[in-house]
Structure 1
Amino acid sequence: MKRRLYQGSDLSRVLSIEELAGFARRRVPHVVFEYIEAGAEDERTLAANRGAFDRWRFCPDTLVDTSSRSIATTLFGKPSASPLIVAPTGFNGLAWPRGDVALARAAAAAGIPFTLSSFSNTALEEVANEAGGRLWLQLYVLRERELSRRLLERAAQAGYEALVVTTDANVMSGREWDKRNFIAPGKPTLRCRLDMLAHPGWLRTHLKHGMPALENVKDFIPPHQQSVAQRMAFVVDQLQPNLSWDDIRWLRGLWHGRLVVKGILNAGDARRAFDCGADGIVVTNHGGRQLESCVSSLDVLSEIVDTLAGRLTVLVDGGFRRGGDILKAVALGADGVMTGRATLYGLTAAGEAGVSHAIGLLHGEMNRTLGMLGRNSIAALGPDVLRKVS
């Protein structure tokens, strides 16, 4: 019998993140899934992120009692159910109504942190009120400084514990497969519109709830720029190509919670983040969505960890689809792993239940893999459980 992935709609029968991605792809129009999935240009960086995991293979210990194993850890001094963190992603309302709340609630139920994008479709206060849990806020430092300052004030008042500053998206990338769905910004092609009609469930939902708005920044968008295309144009115009380390120092002076610099790919920048007063970094190439032909996060992780010598919390993202992938990053020195697409597949497929299913799959795989490695805790993982192959 020919092997094939599950292609039905019973969430309980979905056994992997790859199957969950297929579920999500079938549920929404192509334009929505492409927004989630697309990488920059020829998508070499996207492919490199996945390929990096194949170069590292496990070398387990045997005859070890692992009956009391646990994947629990600590992040910034607080207990977490696992090293997993839900990464910041924007426009989640395209995938599921009030998708930001669904992601946050699933993360809170699982005992892991959730990072809200500053370009979320639900206001940060609503997410805090409706989801709770450990909440972090991602920030783009925008041209309108008062906007950034106000977001920080609101986040502090709402109880967000960490600020994650994105530094690698100050220039818009070329996600060509995403762009092919539009004849102009915010204006879908005829083929794209027909495909929306072919997904009546998704279409009815969005006709009922309306197109997602940028709730955290809406007060700064001029009244005459309220269409989807105009909102997008406002966002693009607000990105700063002159973003610098001075901006990180400025934010450090404003924000009294944990400060995380997201976009680090070399040891020199890791040291500069520490010198600017950061509490942590995210080693990332933006999920392959920004710079083409970029190194994978996993390939530079050890170098960065060794440079910091424990002075900063090191997080990583990029291509994580299995619990074993997460443990490989932890073994190479990461304190935590952010995942964007894996949990977005769950959201797109089945809302909060889908996100919980995605987290459950990854947690289950982590637990099994830890046991088969002959280790009882996340803290017991190190480079000795890995071998690099050509």
Structure 2
Amino acid sequence: MNEASVQHLKPLSACVPDLKNRARKRIPGFAFDYVEGGCNHEAALHRNRQALDAVQLRADYLAPYSPPDLSTTLFGQDYAAPFGIAPLGLTGIVWPNASLMHARAAKKANIPYVLSTLSTSSIEDAAACAEDNFWFQLYPPSDLAIRADLIKRAADTGCKNLIVTIDVAAAGHRPKDIKNGLAIPPKITPRSVFQSALRPQWSIATLKAGLPQFASILPYMKDLSNIQDVANYVRNTLKDVVDEPMLRTIRDSWQGNLIVKGINHADDALRAVAAGADGLIVSNHGGRQLDAAEASINTIESIKAAVPEHIVVMADSGVESGVDIARFLAQGASTVFSGRAFLYGVAAHGEAGAEHTIDILRDELQQVMSQLHCTDTSQIQRHKLNRNTE
């Protein structure tokens, strides 16, 4: 991507809310609702925002100043910034090849990129774009042969970091998606046709690319004859409930770093560590699974305190700015992942939007660190303002 083509986006989209507003105007309503929405009454979604806003940081303006260094080391690999692109499912309904756009942007910026099992790009294609920045997120199939093959395919690409998501014991109840017919199988309704017709750029791009499919699991669906068979397969075979015994089984079959995503309290963190996890992602799935879940920003400190020091504790859920990244770092996260922001980016500006989203988050984080007089990201914790102090 030409640098000039990204730089000209700054006046158009100066922050993630700008990307969101532009995305709303460029993609159909059902696709936007899928990205923006949470489960049930969206209480957890709003709780994430409120809890992040409550974290305040104290600047030490007269302390010695040096320009901030955002670089970090994670599982022995050096990255340019302490944030990455979270695993995102069904990316193709937001914009064709969105996952590959994200993967290329992550490699160029040298940040982690995580591919979801339910992405519309394959393990092999995404890994070829992200190269050594490629991580894979596994929804373990109940079919053991398919599970083993997915893990093998990730390993064959050179992937060193496998993320197992544990907080999807049941499908999230998302009323917006239900009303929009965005289910398995998807329903084409007069409403969705009308919404698509109102977004000609999206419609033309989607027609050229073809309807999105679950690319990584497509090889296992060769004998399925119709969309209902595919729906039954996804419901009954694709995702199994992850508990500690299953996590131990996956640990035995994976030689790289095992990371458990969906941790939201210390007890589960300790179970994950006992099962052999090398890292944790503190997360409530962005408010998309359990509407009564506590905000991740409120649980990370107790989780980090409970696990051994060598366990890498990361976080996601609700990240909409570099300020939010700083807030998570202040609570003890070593790396912070964002999802929705990156989908808004490609929806708003295509491939250039993937790079521009990284630029926005990096520039905002750098500005916060400069204000705080932080030389590196490890120092941000010192600037957290305790609620009991002024």
TM-score normalised per structure 2: 0.93
Contact kept, 8 Å, 2:107 with 2:129, in 1: the verdict is: no
From the superposition, tell whether residues 252 and 224 of structure 1 become closer, same or farther in structure 2 (CA, over 3 Å). closer
Partner of 2:180: 181
8 Å CA contact 1:107, 1:133 repeated in 2: no
Q: Equivalences for 1:47-86 in 2 at 5 Å?
A: 47-86=46-85
- Offset of 1:381 from its aligned partner? 1.9
Q: Report % sequence identity.
A: 34
Q: What is the 5 A alignment of 1:146-185?
A: 146-182=145-181, 185=185
Q: Which residue of 2 aligns with 1:215?
A: 215
Hey, what does 1:341 align to over in structure 2? Answer: 340
Q: Which residue of 2 aligns with 1:5?
A: none
Q: How does 1:1-390 map to 2 (within 5 A)?
A: 12-182=11-181, 185-227=185-227, 230-238=229-237, 242-388=241-387
Q: Distance in 1 between matches of 2:341 and 2:171?
A: 23
Residues 317-371 of structure 1: CA distance to partner in whole angstroms, max 9, x if unpaired? 0101111111111111111101110111112112221011111001001101001
Distance (whole Å) between structure 1 residues aligned to residue 282 and residue 205 of structure 2: 36
Contact kept, 8 Å, 1:134 with 1:161, in 2: the verdict is no
Q: Which runs of 5+ in 2 are unaligned?
A: 1-7
Give the secondary structure class of the aligned counterpart of 1:388.
coil
The alignment covers a number of residue pairs equal to 381
Give the drift of 1:268.
0.9
C-alpha displacement of 1:226: 4.5
Distance 1:389 1:340, change over 3 A: farther
Secondary structure of residue in 1 paired with 2:281: strand
1:227-252 Cα offsets, whole Å, 9 max, x none, are 3x653442222255643111111111
CA–CA distance in structure 2, aligned partners of residues 128 and 221 of structure 1: 22
State the 1:389 CA deviation. 7.2
Task: Tell me the distance in 1 between the aligned counterparts of 2:317 and 2:382.
Answer: 19
- Of residues 302-311 and 79-88 in structure 1, the stretch that sits farther from structure 2 once superposed is 302-311
Q: How far apart are residue 49 of structure 1 and its match?
A: 0.6
SS at 2:386 equivalent: strand
State the 1:67 CA deviation: 3.4
**Distance (whole Å) between structure 1 residues aligned to residue 166 and residue 277 of structure 2:** 13
Cα RMSD of the aligned pairs, angstroms, is 1.9
Matched residue of 2:215: which SS? Answer: coil
User: Which residue identity lines up with residue 266 of structure 2 in the other structure?
Assistant: A
Aligned AA for 1:162?
A: N
Q: Deviations over 1:200-220 (max 9, x none)?
A: 111111112210111111122
Q: Any idea what SS the aligned residue of 1:382 has?
A: helix
1:123-181 residue CA offsets vs partner (Å, 9 max, x unmatched): 11112223424110000011112111101111111111100001111211110011111
2:3 aligned partner? none
CA distance in 1, matches of 2:168, 2:257: 21
Whether contact under 8 Å (2:141, 2:240) holds in the other structure is: no
